[in-house]
Amino acid sequence: MSKSSILRELSARFDGARRIKLSQAGSIIGYSVGTCRNKIQKSTFPLNIVTEKSASSNDKKHVRHYVLLTDLAELLAYQEAISSLPTGKRRVGRPTKAEQIARAKKKIGSLAMVS
């Protein structure tokens, strides 16, 4: 999916909003609220954060964190593109049963072509 199609899907899901709460964005990318807050504190959260303070108080408890849908769509498109790339690396250890079966089928197929 392209960034624009992901953005359309997200916009429809959140009723045309341009920004969503941190908890909603975190659940989409697979983070809990606590993990999101910890990553923001360490400056390792993968999205830009928009903070909004309450007008009535300067207390830290009245700060809300939001994420722009365009940033979220860009991250999701990037993650999808990365996940579709072949890794080329084989895991360490004995081949899995699925790998053994695939290798056997490939070997049988190449023998049938030779005959």
SS3 22: helix
Type of residue found at 80: E
pLDDT along the chain (115 residues), means of 10: 86 90 92 91 91 72 87 90 76 87 82 58
Q: What is the pTM of this model?
A: 0.67
End-to-end alpha-carbon separation of the chain, Å?
43
Determine the structural domain holding residue 30 and report its residue range. 3-86
**What local confidence, expressed as pLDDT, does residue 34 receive?**
92
- Determine, yes or no, domain membership for 113: no
Give φ, ψ of 100 to 5 degrees. -65, -45
**What local confidence, expressed as pLDDT, does residue 22 receive?**
92
**What local confidence, expressed as pLDDT, does residue 84 receive?**
76
> Can you tell me the distance from the alpha carbon of 73 to that of 53, in angstroms, rounded to the nearest whole number?
25
- Determine, yes or no, domain membership for 97: no
How many domains is the chain built from?
Answer: 1
Contacts for 69 with CB less than 8 Å, ≥ 6 apart: 7, 10, 11, 14, 17, 18, 19, 20
pLDDT in tens, 80-92: 888 777 777 777 8
- Determine, yes or no, domain membership for 30: yes
- Determine, yes or no, domain membership for 112: no
- Determine, yes or no, domain membership for 24: yes
